[in-house]
Chains A and B, each alone.
Chain A
């Protein structure tokens, strides 16, 4: 029992060392192309303003408040406080003469959201908002 008591601080140190990292991890973990594919959808529309309106409505539907928005650059950053802190940045860019690209990246606390299903859920919500906007429903 005494030997076990001596081992306990060592056990604690070992557990903590499992989380230790010296890397600043500035560049993130994902591969560039794969990450972009998961985070991006293209829409057959030319109306950037209405697309941005739909993005803001979607973020509000999901309970976010807007931290920063720039209509010219097509960038919106939003935060949701709901047991945890989730931050998202959405960019709306005109791709060519017929399409608009919407890209989003999300973080929950210190962790980046990498799973495709979460982004898919966001785009399902955005599809609905785009439908309502295009049919002039407030």
Chain B
């Protein structure tokens, strides 16, 4: 038994420190074009300032704070920290915790989602294809933390409906911006 443990020692040492750089971390996925079309819209606007102002306003409407703006590149990055509490997740964890208590006790509620930081980058640039139009492309991602402030989820948001809703709001914001000048 001791000999087996000694033989396993080097394996344990290497596995404890293994740095796994994911393969193909920067390879374009096959879904690139589809995702690009979900994330991009072309909008007509009188000027670059109008569309950038409307974009900032819509981000504020959605309760984001602006982190960075680099106007020559059309880059606006914004983020917000919001509640990630889920009643259905909590209900499931309560059930599991009851079972756990019967089996000796554990603290599953600390693994429940608590808050999430959502980061959004909007790139608004003059269209290369059509004069007087602008392309707006958005990428969104989020980190979900549990009650112990541990990272629970790291993910990109690829849901088409979310992007559609934001672009609908951007169109409205642009109308307001142009009509109230």
Query: Which residues of A (39-77) have their CB < 8 Å from a CB of B?
Result: 49, 52-53, 56-57, 60-72, 76
Q: How far is the CA of A7 from the CA of B143 in the complex (A)?
A: 40
Q: Which residues of B sit under 8 angstroms from A4, Cβ to Cβ?
A: 1-2, 5
Docked-complex contact A14 and B13, CB < 8 angstroms: yes
Q: Is the CB of B129 within 8 A of A138?
A: yes
Number of A-B contacts (CB under 8 A): 136
Which range contains the number of A residues in contact with the other chain? 35 or more
**A64 adjacent to B128 (CB under 8 Å):** no
A61 touches B32 (CB 8 A): yes
| Number of B positions contacting A (CB below 8 A) | 48
Q: Mark B105-129, 1 if CB is under 8 A from A, else 0.
A: 0000000000000011101010111
Stretch at the interface among A30-38, A80-88, A94-102: A80-88
Q: Which of B26, B42, B68 contacts A68 (CB 8 A)?
A: B68
Contact B139 A7 (CB under 8 A): no
B residues less than 8 Å from A24 (CB atoms):
none
Contact of A138 among B26, B27, B120, B127 (CB under 8 A): B127
Chain A residues within 8 Å of B, Cβ to Cβ? 1, 3-4, 7, 11, 14-16, 18-19, 49, 52-53, 56-57, 60-72, 76, 79-86, 106, 108, 111, 113-115, 118-119, 121-122, 124-125, 128, 133, 136-138
